[in-house]
A and B are shown apart, each in its own frame.
Chain A
Amino acid sequence: MNDKRFDEVEHTADIAIRVWGHTLDELFANAAYGMACQLTDVEDVDPTEEMEIQLQAADVEMLLVDWLSELLYLGERENVVFVEFDISWVTSHSLRAIVRGGPIVEHQAHIKAVTFSELNLEWTADQYETNIVFDV
């Protein structure tokens, strides 16, 4: 059983990951987890802070970028990294989730932003897949 949630993809200047999910909520959770793994060693994070996130966007790719950008922004503001994602509702245009995180013990990358570069959400044989490029 392959329990990997994302792969790192080579990118000359920035950080890129490939993520997948059988459902949109799995894809969104895996993308957020993949991003958290770039920021720090998630095993070290004690998820004591909980927040609710609600978002709306014009299409599903924008919603994915908004979701990850929101996690980055809240993480920077609260000085935490989010590592657990309970997505109760996600469609092509809206999302509601409870996220949990904790302080970063050791920083790895600093992600400036989530880009649309290489973002192309596809339904393959049995799952959604896309690359995500982070500006660092």
Chain B
Amino acid sequence: MASKNDFQRIDEYTWELPKDYRGDMRVPVRLFVDEELFDAAFGDRSIEQLVNTATLPGIVKYAMALPDMHQGYGFPIGGVAGIDASSGVISPGGVGYDINCGVRLLASNLDWEEIEPFVDELMDALYQSCPSGLGGDGRVRVNKRELDNLLSDGASWALKQGLARQKDVEHTEEHGRLHGADPSKVSQRAKERGLSQVGSLGSGNHFLELDVVRAVYEPEAADAFGLREGQIVVQIHCGSRGFGHQVCDDYVKKLQSAVQKYDIRLPNRQLVCAPIDSPEGQAYYGAMACAVNYAFVNRQVLAMGAREAFERVLAGNVRDFDLRQIYDVAHNIAKFEDHQVNGHSARLCIHRKGATRCFPPGHEAVPADYRQVGQPVLVPGSMGTASYVLVGRQRAMELTFGSSCHGAGRTMSRTAARKKVWGHDLRDALEQEGIAVRASSMKGLAEEAPLAYKDVSHVVETVHGLGIAHKVARLEPLGVIKG
């Protein structure tokens, strides 16, 4: 286990564990954290997991973790790795089970005062329109043939079905469709699990939140995104449900034999991988991309549910109840991007496990109407605390392969949180603060208590200080639907 003395401090927010720390590391490890978060990183096994990540064939520059880092499985959460697309590997352990877990932000044209009388009714309507909790069917049921189309085409499928608007698609990472999706590489079991769950939040840390924009820090970017102080917005946080879990499960098992076949030495079986250009690696990518597309559609269908709830409650009561999509970003994904490595452009397979893409102004992947300011980066806080909208900066391309933090990051186990907090007490405390809560499980609520997380503001100040993303706006919750 590495100690603080094994690290070299590069600058205020950068700490490096040299490659010679362990014989099997191919690159150094870098932590992008301030001093306090650096100390906290030694509280679990996340550094050990990052050292393991540094052993993956083809990894370039360094294995890195962002300030919301904490222990996961395989990669740490908050971990990013850039792997050479021609000579390296792709790893399901670098993406996770909830493939393309991510966040979508919708903005209304309403102020707090206008919806205040309707908040309870609105929360009930959102709870009804956006199915949450364990199992549970989604808003849309598809047949097998439609599912294959959905998996191949992602948000384009939703657009054809009348489940999306053109602007929703434009304002989604990859336009809501990761190319290279191959439904023939997905197991029947995964497809079976996917048929009924399109448009469902699920459980765990997933949520739908009604927020108010409490502060604006960078007016130019806020203007471009259409955000202003006092405005009501909606955040949707969820992923690819049982479909994505099954895809990951299938390939973590399938690739175990590929590791032997290609003679890859791994310190942990959860880091299982295959060469990107091998049949096994291609098959995983094709299936993973299907799950990415499934998650984009899932959030899209939930967004339509949120719009329906707004209309049901607010039509006739307010002047304008529409919800525009600001952006949708993935948190768990592997994808091909071009980045500078040692002064040359290189095609890399970027693994982001609990990390967000964060592209700067001028980048062609940023939607045209945001390109002058940069890509919106959505950072949800823990339940009942603030969330942030950031904007990508050029420094992210230099330091983190265009990546930023994805949330607050846990500091306490679920069991410990349940021992400290009762779900009912937490709900009462949140409601006293003026936050309406709808939850399918009080135990689940307790596990997501804010005290189990790092302070999201601290995490955001760190990426702002590092210069990879700048703060644009702070959102504060008025109502939470907890899966």
Contact = CB atoms under 8 A, between A and B. Distances in A.
Interface of A: 8, 10-15, 58, 61-62, 65-66, 69, 73, 76, 79, 107-110, 112-119, 133, 135-136
Given A79-B135, A113-B245, A136-B204, A11 B413 contact: yes
A12 B242 CA distance: 22
B66 to A, nearest CB: 15
B97 A112 contact: yes
A65 B270 CA distance: 11
A8 B447 CA distance: 15
B98 interface: yes
Interface centre among A11, A15, A62, A107 (most CB of B within 10 A): A11
A108 B443 contact: yes
B184 interface: no
B96 interface: yes
A127 B77 CA distance: 33
A13 B416 contact: no
Contacts of A115: 73-74, 97, 252, 270
Contacts of A62: 253, 256
A136 B410 CA distance: 13
B134 interface: yes
28 contacts: A8-B415, A10-B413, A10-B416, A11-B44, A12-B44, A12-B46, A12-B412, A13-B71, A13-B410, A58-B256, A58-B257, A62-B253, A66-B253, A69-B249, A76-B135, A107-B441, A107-B444, A109-B414, A109-B443, A109-B447, A110-B204, A112-B97, A112-B98, A115-B270, A117-B269, A118-B73, A135-B96, A135-B97
A65 B253 contact: yes
A114 B251 CA distance: 13
Interface centre among A76, A79, A117 (most CB of B within 10 A): A117
Contacts of B256: 58, 62
Q: Which 8 A-B pairs have the closest CB atoms?
A: A117-B73, A116-B269, A117-B270, A110-B203, A12-B71, A115-B73, A116-B270, A113-B97
B302 to A, nearest CB: 18
A12 B415 contact: no
B134 A133 contact: no
A110 B134 contact: yes
Interface string B69-109: 01111100100000000000000000011100000000000
Contacts of A114: 249
A119 B135 CA distance: 27
Contacts of B44: 11-12
Interface string B150-189: 0000000000000000000000000000000000000001
B268 interface: yes
Contacts, number: 94
Contacts of B126: none
Contacts of B202: 110
A13 B77 contact: yes
B134 A11 contact: no
A12 B268 contact: no
B400 interface: no
A116 B252 CA distance: 9
A119 B266 CA distance: 14
B411 interface: yes
B248 interface: yes
A9 to B, nearest CB: 9
A48 to B, nearest CB: 19
A113 B272 contact: no
B71 A11 contact: yes
Contacts of A14: 72-73, 414
Contacts of A13: 70-72, 77, 410, 413
B189 A73 contact: yes
Contacts of A76: 135, 193, 242
A117 B268 contact: yes
B270 A113 contact: no
A7 to B, nearest CB: 11
A113 to B, nearest CB: 4
A6 to B, nearest CB: 13
A12 B413 CA distance: 4
A58 B253 CA distance: 10
Contacts of B133: 107
Nearest to A61: B269
A73 B411 CA distance: 30
Contacts of B96: 135
Given A58-B257, A113-B245, A117-B269, 15 more contacts: A10-B413, A11-B71, A12-B70, A15-B414, A69-B249, A73-B246, A109-B443, A109-B447, A110-B202, A110-B204, A112-B98, A115-B252, A117-B268, A119-B269, A135-B97
